[in-house]
Amino acid sequence: MKKDLLAALRADLAAKKSVVLATELATGAASLVHPFGEGRGVEPRLFAAAREAAQDDQSRLWQGPAGTVFLRVYNAPVRVIVVGAVHVVAGQLDHGRQRLGDVVVVDPRRSFATEARFRGITLSTDWPDEALQKLGLDRRTAVVTMTHDPKIDDPALVAALRSEVFYIGALGSKKTQAARRERLGTLGFDEAAQARVHGPVGLPIGAVSTAEIAVSILSEVVACLRGGQAALRKP
């Protein structure tokens, strides 16, 4: 690999950007493809193949016009941003972060979002709209709202819906979800946008304990990460 290409790859990895290294096996010629960008300057079929590989989180061989190309996927880490430092989160959702990705807890209520309750977890006590703007939302990010308080949850949902996050979940009963959809509707989000919000959050596995609820949430996050927005729909 040429030094300039290696330097560019390292820069992308340092910036936590998803990138695919495309290498022609016959010649060794290599280039970088940013699969979630606009694809300018990239052969359309190569861009589509790199994007599919990145979405699947799986490197692969691709038969291009000039021969076989190895698509090596370097995806940005997955992040789960949890809005609400509630009991379900404390010590539970974090159990899956080594396998899934980073966990960030956002809650402007400083009495809840404390280092003592969330040791080793990134915390933000900014209001959700400010926190999410600082954190940056991308296709490798999931946002889960947990407070039941519209003043905290709704700004986070609005920010998430205006982004390309792969998963949005919201805690609450069906009645709470209906009221939330109505509020989102008044803010200009149509039914298709509202359908991006998975609520009640988590797979319907009959979870009762905080650990079980955390499992149901993380399972739904993984299902959407691997299968896309249409992977799951509540009955």
Q: Which of 77, 62, 57, 60 is nearest to 15 (CA)?
A: 77
Please classify residue 196 by burial: count the beta carbons closer than 10 Å to its beta carbon, then call 0-12 exposed, 13-18 middle and 19+ buried: middle
pLDDT for the residue 94? 58
Distance in angstroms (rounded) separating the CA atoms of residues 145 and 132? 12
Q: Which two tokens stand for residue 68?
A: 């076989």
**Residue 63 DSSP class:** E
Q: Is the peptide bond before 200 cis (omega within 30 degrees of 0)?
A: yes
* Stated pTM of the model: 0.83
Token pair recorded at residue 102: 């980073």
CA angle 91, 179, 185 (to 5 degrees): 110
- Looking at residue 121, its pLDDT comes to 84
pLDDT at position 173: 87
CA distances from 95 to 103, 117, 214, 221 (A): 10, 14, 9, 14
- pLDDT one-digit tens code per residue, 101-140: 788 999 999 999 998 888 878 899 999 999 999 999 988 9
Measured from the Cβ of residue 126, the count of other Cβ atoms closer than 10 Å reads 14
pLDDT at 235: 44
Handedness of CA 76, 169, 106, 188 (dihedral sign): positive
Structural domains of the chain, ranges and CATH numbers in brackets: 3-74 (no CATH), 79-231 (3.40.50.720)
- All residue ranges of the chain with pLDDT < 50 are 230, 234-235
Residue 128 contacts residue 160 (beta carbons within 8 Å): no
